[in-house]
């Protein structure tokens, strides 16, 4: 028999258990509550006794009724404690974090209801990482090119693409603050399309936190920051569309620069993907690397910039993007990003840093 819910317990105030067989002092007294079935109370003096619960028949029922107030009070106290605790957690998170979630030894804060300056939102990531992203202007005998870079040391070491600075006779770097430095090329690796440059006379710069591209999954949200078309500090967002894409780029700096600075590439470095050439002819000297694919908008000038996870960590260096008109032999400027971009995994960069600091392979 299932128990039925009784709102007040008063309906059973005079119910008695039917007895069978022997009845005497040893017979167990009836419980203080009636049976689960409903019965009509018999009239009698008990119903008109001075107390509403004669002979203690409803002692436990009364106790249960009186206990509701303390239970409600405890529930209210628990709720208040939860609210205060949540506020304390937010305050602790706000005052113990480093305010940006990235940088040297920085720890990202997850799942807290704090301001947008924290990690976990596009606005938060942009605010934290943008100071570590720069615009690079390189001049060579072929002309000038614009790209982006990522500051990795406070004294001005910057990672970028080889094709951004290939063959450059002079390199100028503009920080997010607008301050400009002259830079020198420390080392290049055309096989991986990577380069390391260093600012002259810089110190105390904001640095980026390098993540682990081996932990990246398809569908992860990402943010891209760079200087497309010279628009410094442009922020776009998207997801990781695929992993380990084979991307082939030109190694010959003259071939690449010619396409990038006014050839059929419309300002993009030529590359191959899926057996097709984009942004012009990659030439005979080329290299293939494994890349992250993203639908975050990348445009000319994003090369060398950062692809960032939602913890504010760099997971890739943006290197190539597909613009529809650039695959045409008609020439002219590209139509812009169509959500097909590629980035060199940051683990590839970290493995190559020592060689780049020693001059690289290019």
Beta carbons of 167 and 255 less than 8 angstroms apart:
no
The structure tokens listed for 41 are 């109370």
Task: Give the position of tokens 């939102």.
Answer: 121
* 193 a catalytic residue: yes
* 58 a catalytic residue: no
Nearest to 301 by CA among 274, 334, 332: 334
Distance of alpha carbon 12 from its chain centroid, rounded?
60
Rounded CA-CA distance 263/298 in Å is 19
Beta carbons of 248 and 272 less than 8 angstroms apart:
yes
Catalytic choice (118, 297, 303, 319): 303
Nearest to 192 by CA among 294, 286, 299: 286
The structure tokens listed for 238 are 């998207």
Q: Which residues pair with 148 in a beta bridge?
A: 135
Nearest to 34 by CA among 18, 46, 23: 18
Rounded CA-CA distance 251/104 in Å is 33
Angle, CA of 151, 153 and 159, to the nearest 5°: 40
Catalytic choice (12, 193, 281, 352): 193
Catalytic choice (58, 128, 163, 326): 163
Q: What is the DSSP letter of 120?
A: T
Angle, CA of 340, 343 and 344, to the nearest 5°: 150
Instruction: Provide the annotated active-site residues.
Output: 163, 193, 303
């Amino acid at each position: 028999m299932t128990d039925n819910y009784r709102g007040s317990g008063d309906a059973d105030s005079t119910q008695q258990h039917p007895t069978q067989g022997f009845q005497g002092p040893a017979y167990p007294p009836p419980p203080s509550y009636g049976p689960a079935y409903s019965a009509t109370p018999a009239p009698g003096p008990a119903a008109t006794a001075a107390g509403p619960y004669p002979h203690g028949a409803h002692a436990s029922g009364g106790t249960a009724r009186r206990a509701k107030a303390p239970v409600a009070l405890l529930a209210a106290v628990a709720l208040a404690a939860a609210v205060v605790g949540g506020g304390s957690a937010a305050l602790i998170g706000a005052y113990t974090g480093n305010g940006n979630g990235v940088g040297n030894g920085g720890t990202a804060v997850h799942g807290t209801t704090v301001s947008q300056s924290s990690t976990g939102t596009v606005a938060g990531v942009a605010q934290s990482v943008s100071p570590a992203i720069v615009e690079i202007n390189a001049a060579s005998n072929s002309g000038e090119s614009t790209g982006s870079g990522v500051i990795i040391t406070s004294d001005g070491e910057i990672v970028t693409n080889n094709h951004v600075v290939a063959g450059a006779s002079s390199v100028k770097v503009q920080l997010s603050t607008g301050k400009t430095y002259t830079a020198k090329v420390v080392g290049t690796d055309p096989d991986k399309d990577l380069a390391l440059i260093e600012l002259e006379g810089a110190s105390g710069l904001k640095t980026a936190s390098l993540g682990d591209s081996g932990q990246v999954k398809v569908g992860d949200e990402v943010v891209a920051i760079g200087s497309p078309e010279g628009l410094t500090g442009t922020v776009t967002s998207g997801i990781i569309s695929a992993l380990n894409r084979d991307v082939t780029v030109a190694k010959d700096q003259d071939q690449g620069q010619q396409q990038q600075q006014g050839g059929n590439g419309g300002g993009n470095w030529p590359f191959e993907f899926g057996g097709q050439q984009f942004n012009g002819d990659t030439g005979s000297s080329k290299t293939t690397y494994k890349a992250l694919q993203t639908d975050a908008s990348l445009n000319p000038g994003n090369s060398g910039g950062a692809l960032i996870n939602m913890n504010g960590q760099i997971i890739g260096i943006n290197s190539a993007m597909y613009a529809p008109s650039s695959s045409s032999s008609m020439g002219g400027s590209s139509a812009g990003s169509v959500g097909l971009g590629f980035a060199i995994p940051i683990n590839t960069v970290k493995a190559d840093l020592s060689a780049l600091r020693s001059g690289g392979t290019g």
